[in-house]
Amino acid sequence: MEAPNPTARPQRPTLQESLRSSSFLHDHQQYKPSAPVNSIGNVLGTSLESGVGSLSLNPISPDPDRVTDSGITHSLFNHQVNPLPTDTPQVVATIFYKSSDPIHPHLHPDSSFNTDKLPSPTVPVGSAPTVDIEKIPREPPAPEPEPLDHLYGPFVSQLCLTNFLQILESLPTPYQRMNTSHRCLDQHEQPRVVEVTFSPPPNPDYLTFTDLRKHESIWRFEREWNVEVVLQKESVFRRHKRLVVFDMDSTLIQNEVIDEIAKFIGVEKEVSEITERAMNGELDFSASLKERVGLLKGVPADVFEKLKSVITISPGARELCKALKTLGYKLAVLSGGFQPLAEWLAGELGIDYAYANHLEIDLASQTLTGKLVPSYPIIDASQKRELLQSIAAENNIPVAQTVAVGDGANDLLMLHAAGLGVAWRAKSMVQLEAPTRLNGENMTDILHLLGLSKEDIKELL
């Protein structure tokens, strides 16, 4: 029998057709199991036998269209085939390309026609309590990382994914190679949404899952590639939720209702300033609500009927609710706004529960008194969390099977309490503190967090 050649490079294993994606990453090579590690002695010995000059030769010709391997690997990791146990924890990263929000609206300075008009330094949303540089009592923000999406494509490119996998392997596991797989959730060519599953996650003794979600390397990756990354622990409850609760103002609808009412009596500026500070967590919500409601004294009680014509439902909210109802979900709107509009919106979107604040009405004059009805609790942060838990208990739904979506500081408690809490186009401070955040154009993006593909969503609708 012919003796095996010890220096021969083994055939790379490939996934079966049923286990891998037929996406544009079919040729992705860097993260398939590599060849056995060569010792320094073997490398030097081979090089001396074949000539010193061969050290600088690359046996694989450069190919700009795909990631190539030099053929020589030096690593601390064991590259022998060693499958992980079946019960090894997994983490799912859903990567969204921010197609509507380029990092830089201009080309690179070297090729721009307006090189003398570079934009002023900005603070990325979600990286500081405010995006107003004048309000940050520190030195100016550090320069933004070089934007790469305009160089490699306005989508989750192959190099973008490669960079993400490199970042994952640089995190403290420790000393254990990660297994990774991916799915393109919207389209195989030039995808906007890609789901990456990796295991094992970093050792919690070195890096907790909470810290992993906020890791500086992942934040920088998001800025470089103009993407958002949502991390979730993989489990059957990640894919099979049963209850979703929503905030109303600036979430399911694009308006702040109390600001719209204030327009009727000319106090919009005063009310909107208080609203903004309350949503950023600068003011106690209950106290600020009472202060704003006090400014509405004398407004006709039929103002809510008039407001229905100016309320704008957020893009994708109808489709999101319809898809969730088709799947059998219970839905609720928990709003710091007002009950008449919350009930109207629930009827429009097919939502099962509607909880909001009740304004007191003077029956004689049919106007608002500027007070809240004392027999109803104020829907503040703690009340939203209690309602989430009570609705789940009423329907025998574990909290792990719940989703909360909101944008303000008064939503943070329910976002942290839910199985999945999503800060949707939220205030800067809320994005900093929320478990996850999304700033997309269409609320149906939330369905991708449940593992649903574009084709799945079409079928549901």
Q: What CA–CA distance (Å, rounded) separates 49 from 47?
A: 5
Cα separation values, 334 from 71, 180, 436, Å? 57, 38, 19
Please tell me which residue in 149, 186, 249, 380 is annotated as part of the active site: 249
Q: Which helix (H) or strand (E) holds 406?
A: strand 402-406
**Residue-wise burial string across 194-219, b where 16 or more C-beta atoms lie within 10 A, e elsewhere:** bbbebbbbbeeeebeeeebbebeebe
Mark whether 362 is an active-site residue.
no
Task: Specify whether 63 is catalytic.
Answer: no
**What's the distance, CA 113 to chain centroid?**
34
Closest CA to 192 of 461, 460, 438: 438
Closest CA to 300 of 340, 356, 328: 340
Tokens of 319: 């489709």
User: How far is Cα 243 from Cα 388, in angstroms, rounded to an integer?
Assistant: 9
Tokens of 268: 């919009």
Q: Catalytic residue, from 247, 259, 380, 445: name it.
A: 247
Phi and psi angles of residue 443, each rounded to the nearest 5 degrees, phi first = -70, -15
Determine the Cα–Cα distance for residues 318 and 357; give it in Å rounded to an integer. 23
Cis before 174 (ω within 30): yes
DSSP codes joined into one string, 101-125? S-S-SS--TTT-TTTT-PPPP-PPT
Are the C-beta atoms of 403 and 388 separated by less than 8 Å? no
β-strand partners of 246: 333, 405
Cα–Cα nearest to 452, from 224, 193, 278 = 193
- Comparing C-alpha atoms, which of 230, 247, 243 is closest to residue 399? 243
169 in Cβ contact with 75 (< 8 Å): no
* Active-site annotation, residues: 247, 249
